[in-house]
Amino acid sequence: MIDIKPKKHYEILDGLRGVAAILVVIFHIFEAHNGGSRFNQIINHGYLAVDFFFLLSGFVVAYAYDDRWGKMTQWEFYKRRLIRLQPMVIMGMIVGAIFYYFQASGIFPMIAGMPVWKVIVTMVIGFTLLPVPPSLEIRGWGEMHPLNGPAWSLFFEYIANILYALFFRKFSNKVLGVFVFIFAALLINYTVYGPKGDVIGGWSLNLEQLNVGFTRLLYPFFAGVLLSRLGKLIHIKGAFWICSLLILVLFSIPRIGDESTLWMNGLYESVVIIIFFPLIVAIGAGGEIKNALSIKICKALGDISYPIYITHYPLIYWYTAWVIDNKVSLKDGYLVGIGVLISSITIAFLCLKFYDEPVRNWLLKRSKRG
């Protein structure tokens, strides 16, 4: 692998990724208590973190690689992205397999009688991020990765990286802008005129869910690429704290409208994804941190962001099953929920320090020797 000198890190963006990742865990904990209704949810729009991650990823990928293609092949690019992402994909599946049988419950009746070989096969397929076929369904939710649901977004992340390397990196800003406009229109069409009034979905291997996944992916990722290229950053003091507060507020806004006015919530989510997320990234990338404590906080949040996102959901399966089987209210279950949050952060930290960082360092050294 060609030795490419690393560029300056956007510490604030790292920190914001961590803030969003922790809010995802909290959102999923609260989701267990919503009675199956998307209208009754604390941190109602926490699932928009995925769309925020896609935009962040597009921005960072373009910043890191747009000017390096003269010294880097496509395979070099793919290797770098695999080294960055794939070790924790594998660990997420292993964690999912470890916790799988603890999730046996009334809402997951398939688990109790599931043969171990089928779980192992599902895990191994999951290592590749290829969607698990319906014939290997082991949970009953129809997920493309039933051991670790959030891996669906990494599946689409890889598709975005391939599209970027094959085509979009070659486009001029004007051509890229046209595509971003089209992708924004597709997003608005789905959220405002679609059947659900939100972007929830993308995790199943069928045409409807694949449509949701690509709709969620295309605008934010390539809007991030375009934002990076344009370099129109916003410089304000306290950028990290302002952006963190914005993310919290945007995620926490209750669902807008009701079942007869789904378009209202869809319009809100379109505005958040199309306008507010790029604004937050522009502020975060344009801000500077001079306080040593803030720098440490952003680094810690950035380091833990990906591991916590890709390993927390096996605990959420268990917590959701416990809540529903035992009809546990939020008032009665919040201490266990806090334990799930702390456990998720702890597992992510251990995976980061004792697995992810050592493995990535080893792979980088090996690839440079090759």
pLDDT digits (tens, 9 = 90+) for 147-161: 999 999 999 999 999
Q: In this predicted structure, which of 262-276, 283-297, 336-350 has the lowest mean pLDDT?
A: 283-297
**Strand locations in the chain (E):** none
The reported pLDDT for the residue numbered 370 is 59
- Distance CA(142)–CA(131), nearest Å, equals 11
Residue 1: inside a domain: no
- The answer to whether residue 222 sits within a structural domain is yes
User: What pLDDT does 8 receive?
Assistant: 77
Q: Is the pTM of this model over 0.95?
A: yes
| CA dist., res. 112 & res. 117, Å (int) | 14
Structure tokens at 339: 């334990």
What pLDDT shows up at residue 310?
98
Does some domain include residue 256?
Answer: yes
Q: What is the DSSP string of 168-217?
A: GGGS-HHHHHHHHHHHHHHHHHHHHHSSSSS-----SSSHHHHHHHHHHH
| Predicted confidence band of residue 6 (pLDDT cuts 50, 70, 90) | low
Contact 27, 46 (CB under 8 A): yes
Mean pLDDT (the chain, rounded): 96
Residue 135: Cβ within 10 Å count: 6
Q: C-alpha 118: how far from its chain's center?
A: 27
Tell me the residue length of the chain.
370
State how far the alpha carbon of 335 is from the alpha carbons of 32, 49, 213, in Å. 14, 24, 34
Query: Quick one: average pLDDT of 222-246?
Result: 97
Average pLDDT value for residue range 356-367: 96
Which tens digit of pLDDT belongs to each residue from 17-47? 999 999 999 999 999 999 989 998 999 999 9
Query: Alpha-carbon distance 37 to 29, whole Å?
Result: 14
Any domain includes 5: no
**Amino acid at residue number 127:** F
Residue with tokens 């959220």: 191
User: Considering just the CA atoms, what is the radius of gyration of the chain in Å?
Assistant: 20
Residue 3 lies in a domain: no
DSSP 353: I
User: Rounded distance, CA 18 to CA 309, Å?
Assistant: 9
pLDDT above 70 covers a percentage of the chain that reads 98
Are 347 and 311 in contact by the 8 Å Cβ rule? The answer is yes
| pLDDT tens digits for range 122-147 | 999 999 999 999 889 999 999 999 99
The predicted pLDDT at position 290 comes to 86
Q: Give dist(CA 16, CA 196) in Å, integer.
A: 28
- The pLDDT of residue 1 is 54
Q: Which of 58-62, 222-226, 277-281, 290-294 has the lowest mean pLDDT?
A: 290-294
**Count: domains in the chain:** 1
> What is the rounded distance in angstroms from the CA atom of residue 106 to the CA atom of residue 181?
45
Which residues constitute the domain of residue 70?
11-369
pLDDT of residue 5 exceeding 70, the answer is no
| Inside any domain, residue 175 | yes
Q: What is the mean pLDDT of residues 41-56?
A: 96
pLDDT digits (tens, 9 = 90+) for 64-105: 999 999 999 999 999 999 999 999 999 999 999 999 999 999
- Per-residue pLDDT at 2 exceeds 70: no
Q: Residue range 317-324: average pLDDT? A: 98
Q: HEC profile for 97-137? A: HHHHHHHCCCCCCCCCCCCHHHHHHHHHHHHHCCCCCHHHC
